Amino acid sequence: MSDDPLPSSVSENIDTVAEFYARHEQRASATQRIMEKVALFLGSPGYVAANVLFIVVWIAANLFAQDLGWKQIDEPPFFWLQGIIGLNAFVISTTVLIRQNRMSKLADHHAHLDLQVNLLTEEKTSKIIQLLEELRRDMPGVREKHDDEAAELAKPADPKAVLTAIERTRDEAYGRAGGRKS
């Protein structure tokens, strides 16, 4: 492994991504951060193990309560246990949904950023091809050769036209798959 420092462009990109996540975390309310911590805890293997252990102990304690001289608080079919498990499921599902909603928003931000970067990259690539073609035409030692593919790639794509074509293709495919035509 090399001890060479990262190129400055890579370090800048890492800093930009870190700033993006920091801003995302700053926008979260205190309640949201608490709910996420709860969701992470509820989704941990330790929590699952504790639940299984609790259920086993509850059932065993109630089945053997009279043998041990204890009062049975939840006799089979364990209605209290079922209620506790139902409440637990409600709390888990709600906290997981809250966390998933926030993660979905973050994923949407990522997708938007990816789209912007991809559009910018496409523009830059088209410009580079245009410049290379211009350079090739201006060099006296290079024979003149028309390259249809390079000419096509040198044209910058119109993002609105691309989006319209994607939507039209999707709609046509959906119309055939769903039995509907729009």
pTM over 0.85: no
Question: What does the alpha-carbon distance between residue 110 and residue 120 come to, in Å, rounded to a whole number?
Answer: 15
Element (DSSP H or E) covering residue 36: helix 30-42
**Residue 48 covered by a domain:** no
Question: What does the alpha-carbon distance between residue 4 and residue 83 come to, in Å, rounded to a whole number?
Answer: 59
**Residue 67 covered by a domain:** no
pLDDT in tens, 66-76: 898 999 999 99
Question: What does the alpha-carbon distance between residue 121 and residue 115 come to, in Å, rounded to a whole number?
Answer: 10
**Residue 90 covered by a domain:** yes
**Residue 28 covered by a domain:** yes
**Residue 50 covered by a domain:** no
**Residue 148 covered by a domain:** yes
Query: How many percent of the chain have pLDDT more than 70?
Result: 94
Domains identified in the chain, total number:
1
Question: What does the alpha-carbon distance between residue 19 and residue 15 come to, in Å, rounded to a whole number?
Answer: 6
Domain that holds residue 161: 8-42+77-177
**Residue 70 covered by a domain:** no
Whether the pLDDT of residue 146 is over 80: the answer is no
Provide the token pair at 12.
């800048």
Residue 177: predicted pLDDT: 56
Distance between first and last Cα of the chain? 58
Question: What does the alpha-carbon distance between residue 172 and residue 6 come to, in Å, rounded to a whole number?
Answer: 47
Q: Give burial (CB, 10 Å; 0-12/13-18/19+) of 120.
A: exposed
**Residue 145 covered by a domain:** yes
